[in-house]
Amino acid sequence: MALDPVAALELRSVDLHSPRNNKGHHTQEMGLKRLIVRRGQPFVLQLHFNRPFHPGTDHITFVAETGPAPKELLGTRATFSLTKTRGGNVWSVSDFTIDSNSLFVSLFTPANAVIGYYTLKLEISQGQSHGVTHLLGTFILLFNPWSSEDDVYLPSEILLQEYILMDYGFVYKGHERFITSWPWNYGQFEEDVIDICFEILNKSLYFLENPSKDYSQRNNVVYVCRVVSAMINSNDDNGVLQGNWGEDYSLGVSPLVWNGSVAILRQWAARGGQPVKYGQCWVFAAVMCTVMRCLGVPTRVVSNFRSAHNVDGNLTIDTYYDQNAEMLSIRKQDKIWNFHVWNECWMIRKDLPPGYNGWQVLDPTPQQTSSGLFCCGPASVKAIREGEVHLAYDTPFVYAEVNADEVVWLLEDGHAQEILAHNGSSIGKEISTKMVGSDQRQNITSFYKYPEGSPEERSVFIKASRKMLGSRKALSRLLDLLGSGGFRNQPVQLQLHLARVPEWGQDVQLKLHARRVPDRAHPQGPIRLEVRFCAQALLHNGSTREPLWRQLVHLNLDFGEEVQWPLLLPYDNYRNKLTDEKLIRVSGIAKVEGTRRFLLVLKDISLEPPHLSIEVSERAEVGKALSVHIALTNTRMVALTHCTMVLEGSGLIHGQIANDLGTLAAGHTIQIHLDLYPFKAGRRQLQVLISSDEVKEIKSYKAIFVAAARAF
């Protein structure tokens, strides 16, 4: 009697083991329903057939495809057969085990594979005839900083916890002497954020121009970073955010209103890719941090205080004052931002000579074009520190942001009369990022430049100047600066100090400290000073509004004498005249009577907003009520009107909670009690923002550790 032929192999079902694989690939926070894996790392599949699989006689082939027109030549299609062991950094399926009618296989994606959505198919060969093709399912492939073969490899679990897995953080704002930490909800693991990230890539001009070519380059982290940098702003395309550095936000919302990235990304996606109004530098950078961490690139947000925007690339920023101490907003493109915020992404730079791997600057704020689009970077932080400004991308621009010199001029009848100050170290101060594993600020200025005034710093500056300006211009500029040293030899030292902490809604009390010192023109004897003071609202871009306060002071100073002169800037003078940042620049120009000599004294003042307190019940647990108590006392002399409150926090709140609070009278307190129900365990951050017509950014946060739900 003849034996029955073996039945043809038929696929009955497939299990992608998404929960198990996602946990192994550090993507479980994005959800467990879909398979989301990282390249350069195997994941397990279970195929269930109509009969046991026979390795010797059954022939199965796997096909992985991504993009609009998958091709093996472009790296968007891969075909690979079952083998016993994996061989090298290529698509493979191996290490299989057979259990009854089930076949367990390990699928490996190369560490240089294109990231994105993949379809996975199985072809079962039936002898000489054509095989049968089955769709096994889909998966999402991300960069893998845990893989030593990946260009984003970061060999530190502590750093990976911070720069990939941490879904909240801080953006540092304000002024170099009053740095404020602004809590931010990155929310890169909210379930729809990963889809929005790939939608961003698919709306880029590169994709619209040539979709297949764009997809084929998505294996390259340098390429992906540049695309995202261009797509976060909307200057060339339907990017995520529209910038607004004016003061009219009536067609959208003030950049100060945002608590996190998720609401911005969701609004952009829900409106079909229409830019969200409005963003400024810290919003652009925080949203880019969300996108890059979600895609698997270690990323942090960096703030540079007194950041130069040097359009003509001459490494000099000129500012102007008149004899009445008014800072003049002459129409010039060069600026010194009070602070500017960008990103650093961690990667290997195979496109550069050895030695420039690691942190790279990427700046999504639209300041100037790069290869025709408003994007910036990646520029190697090491290259910036060493003055290697010829290295790609946009290194001269970033170098100037942290190293340009400031020259302050006295203007008379529209002409620059003399140099009041030449500051070689006033740009690029207190470069800051969040400290790893802490809510503290880390000063990383030394990563960008050698100590100011050190031989190494001057040597690097001269090298960069020669590369950017040419040898002749660099030399003439150096001679100009050496020749402008006369202003340093002055008969008086002037300083402005705050008499107490300046609070919005209160008078500002200052002291002028003057000390007579010897100089060549006045070696001894008394001198008389006429000091004109001017206060102006200081804008984020470093320019000012019209004067809001003036004062004239006459001082007689004998040799060796010191005096302190009180100055009062009343609240009524600045009420309704400041920008949302609540910054004031007080300038003084002192004229030495009987001479043509002038001295400059400056003080920037950041007014403190009212204090917001947040208290929570002692223990937070997934699924259990967490009691939150928020209190705001208006200690100022005026009411806060149209108060609104927004709460946000990934793992604590789905989306946002918003409430209208009405008017908070002077001296009164608002108290809010509410219960939250955390839905994710681990370290979380609750952010609270209260805005009013008078003060836009009354903000605070509470770090909360959420315990996993207790098993019963």
CA distance 607 to 605: 6
Give the active site residue among 281, 289, 294, 643.
Answer: 281
* Secondary structure of residue 268 in the 3-state scheme: helix
Give yes or no for a contact between 282 and 379, defined as CB atoms under 8 angstroms apart. no
From the list 279, 301, 298, 296, the residue with the least C-alpha distance to 198 is: 296
CA distance 135 to 392: 43
CA distance 702 to 327: 40
Angle between helices 395-403 and 455-469 (to 10 degrees): 140
Please confirm, yes or no, whether 513 is among the known catalytic residues.
no
Residue with tokens 């490996």: 108
One-letter amino acid identity for 407? V
- Cα end-to-end distance, the chain, whole Å: 60
Sheet strands side by side (includes 544-557): 544-557, 527-538, 583-592, 598-606
Burial of 630 (0-12, 13-18, 19+ CB in 10 A): buried
| Phi, psi of 481, rounded to the nearest 5 degrees | -70, -40
422 beta partners: 407
Indicate if the alpha-carbon torsion angle 294, 295, 296, 299 is positive or negative.
negative
Please confirm, yes or no, whether 17 is among the known catalytic residues.
no
Residue with tokens 């791997």: 357
From the list 663, 612, 670, 665, the residue with the least C-alpha distance to 641 is: 663
Angle between helices 281-295 and 262-270 (to 10 degrees): 80
CA distance 287 to 646: 18
Give yes or no for a contact between 279 and 253, defined as CB atoms under 8 angstroms apart. no
DSSP summary character for residue 28: G
One-letter amino acid identity for 295? L
CA distance 511 to 523: 26
Give the active site residue among 25, 340, 422, 540.
Answer: 340
673 beta partners: 629
Give yes or no for a contact between 652 and 706, defined as CB atoms under 8 angstroms apart. yes
DSSP summary character for residue 333: S
Total residue length of the chain: 712
Residue with tokens 């991504």: 66
Please confirm, yes or no, whether 340 is among the known catalytic residues.
yes
Give the active site residue among 151, 363, 394, 405.
Answer: 363
Indicate if the alpha-carbon torsion angle 114, 117, 119, 120 is positive or negative.
positive
CA distance 251 to 159: 40
Q: Where are the alpha helices (DSSP H) in 518-586?
A: 571-574
One-letter amino acid identity for 174? G
Angle between helices 281-295 and 193-202 (to 10 degrees): 100
String of DSSP letters for 221-248: HHHHHHHHHHHHB-SSSS-SEEE--SS-
Burial of 588 (0-12, 13-18, 19+ CB in 10 A): buried
One-letter amino acid identity for 657? I
Which positions are catalytic?
281, 340, 363
